[in-house]
Amino acid sequence: MADAALVLGIETSCDETGVGIVRGGDLLVDAVASSVAEHARFGGVVPEVASRAHLEAMVPTVERACAQAGVRLRDLDALAVTCGPGLAGALAVGVAAAKALAVALGIPLYGVNHLAAHVAVDTIEHGPLPEPTMALLVSGGHSSLLLVTDVTADLRPMGRTIDDAAGEAFDKVARLLGLPFPGGPQIDRIATDGDRDSIAFPRGLSARHDLERHRFDFSFSGLKTAVARWVEQRQADGDSVPVADVSAAFQEAVVDVLTRKAVDACRDQGVGHLLIGGGVAANSRLRALAAERCEAAGITVRVPRPGRCTDNGAMVAALGALFVARGRAPSGLDLPVDSSMPVTAVQA
Ligand code: KG4
Ligand code: ZN
C-alpha cells in the first residue's frame, strides 16, 4: 500500500545528523546527533568540523533509529535524503550514505530539497497539508516566504532575505550581547524578562518606498547594526547593557516584520493557511505573535513543535513518504549534492 510505505530519511545539511523513519504519515522515530557543541567555541558552524561529525555519527544514528523504531533495514520501502541546500561536505556524507543503503537494499532513493522538508515535517503532527499553503521558513541559513501548491513539486518563492537570515541575526546579536552560540534559544529565554517596547529598533524593508520593491522580502543586517550601535553607545556612556530589554526589543523587531509580511503574503494570494518552519520557528514570541495576527486575519497557522522546527531526519522522511504516496519517480543513483539548490527544485 503506497500510503503506508516505510521510509527512512537522512538529513546532514548543517550540524545535525538526523535519521527519521515514518510509515506513511506516522512518525516511528526521529534520531538526531548534533555537533553544535563542537562549533560553540567558534561562534558558528565550521563546515569541516560538521562533515567529520556527520561521518562519525551516521552509522550509529541509523542503527539507533532502526533499533528504537523496531525496524530492520530490509523492511524499508524507500529512502529520502537532503541533497541541498546546505554545506557541500556535510550534504555529501548524507547523500553517500543514502546511496549506499539504496544500492544495498535495492530500494528507491529520493534526493530532496531541505526547505521543502521543513514544510513537509508538519504533516506528521497536524495531518495532510492544505495546498496551497503559505510557508514562512526561518532558520540560520534561510529566510523565505513560499507559496506551496504541491510540496513535492511546486514551491514558489514570494520573498526572501536580501542579507542575513533571521537565525543568523539572532546568533550575531547574541554574540554581541556576550551570549553563547547558538544565540536564538538564549535570546528567546532572556527576552521573557525584558520589555519589548523599551527600545525602538528598526523594522527592515518596511518603509513605504521599500515595500514597493521588497514587499515580501526581509533584511536583518540593518537591525543587527542598530543593536550594535545602541550597545556601543551605552558602553561609551559608562552604563551597563540591559541584556533582557535589548533581547526583547530586538526579538520583537524580527518577529514583527516576519509575521506582518507573512500575513500580507497570505492575503495577497488569498491563502488561508500559514505554516512556519525552520529553527527560528521554535521562538516563543514568533509563535505567539503569529497566532495572534493570524487569528485576527482569519488565517489558520500551523507550526511544528519546537524540536521539529530545527533540522532533523523526520522532516526528510515525511517528505519522502509524500513522494511515494504521490507516485513520484525516484532520483537516479547519480543524484548530485547541490549546496545552493534552489527552492524551485524540490527533487534532484
Ligand atoms: O533550522 P535550523 O536548525 O538550521 C538551519 O537550517 O539553519 O536553525 C538554526 C537557527 C539558529 O540560527 C538558531 O539560533 C535559531 O535557528 N533558533 C532560534 C530558536 N531556536 C533556534 N531562534 C530564535 N528563537 C529560538 N527559540
Ligand atoms: Zn533547516
Q: What pLDDT digit, counting tens, does each position of 264-277 carry? A: 999 999 999 999 99
What's residue 99's pLDDT? 98
* Segment 300-331, tens digit of pLDDT: 999 999 999 999 999 999 999 999 999 999 99
Model confidence at 83: pLDDT above 60 = yes
Cell of 216: 515580501
Model confidence at 1: pLDDT above 70 = no
Which secondary-structure segment (H or E) carries 104? helix 88-105
Ligand with minimal distance to 192 CA: 1
Q: How far is CA 63 from CA 29, 72, 121, 141, 341, in A?
A: 12, 9, 22, 29, 29
What's residue 2's pLDDT? 45
What's residue 44's pLDDT? 85
Residue from 68, 69, 15 nearest 38 by CA: 15
How much distance in Å is there from the Cα of 274 to the middle of ligand 1? Answer: 19
Residue where the block lists cell 536564538: 184
250 CB within 6 A, ligand 1:
no
User: What pTM was computed for the model?
Assistant: 0.95
135 CB within 6 A, ligand 1:
no
Q: Which residues lie across from 80 on neighbouring strands?
A: 9, 110
How much distance in Å is there from the Cα of 330 to the middle of ligand 1? Answer: 31
> Residue 203 and residue 196: Cα distance in Å, rounded?
13
Q: Around Cβ 106, how many Cβ atoms within 10 Å?
A: 7
> Residue 42 and residue 126: Cα distance in Å, rounded?
37
- For ligand 1, mutation pick of 181, 310, 339 (most atoms within 8 Å of CB): 310
282 CB within 6 A, ligand 1:
yes
What's residue 3's pLDDT? 53
3-state SS of 133-202? EEEEEECCCCEEEEEEEECCCEEEEEEEECCCCHHHHHHHHHHHCCCCCCHHHHHHHHHCCCCCCCCCCC
Mean pLDDT of the chain: 96
Confidence of residue 142 (pLDDT cuts 50, 70, 90): confident
12 CB within 6 A, ligand 1:
no
Q: Are 214 and 267 within 8 A, CB to CB?
A: no
Confidence of residue 75 (pLDDT cuts 50, 70, 90): very high
What average pLDDT does the segment 83-103 reach? 98
85 CB within 6 A, ligand 1:
no
> Residue 11 and residue 32: Cα distance in Å, rounded?
9
Sign of CA dihedral 155, 47, 16, 277: negative
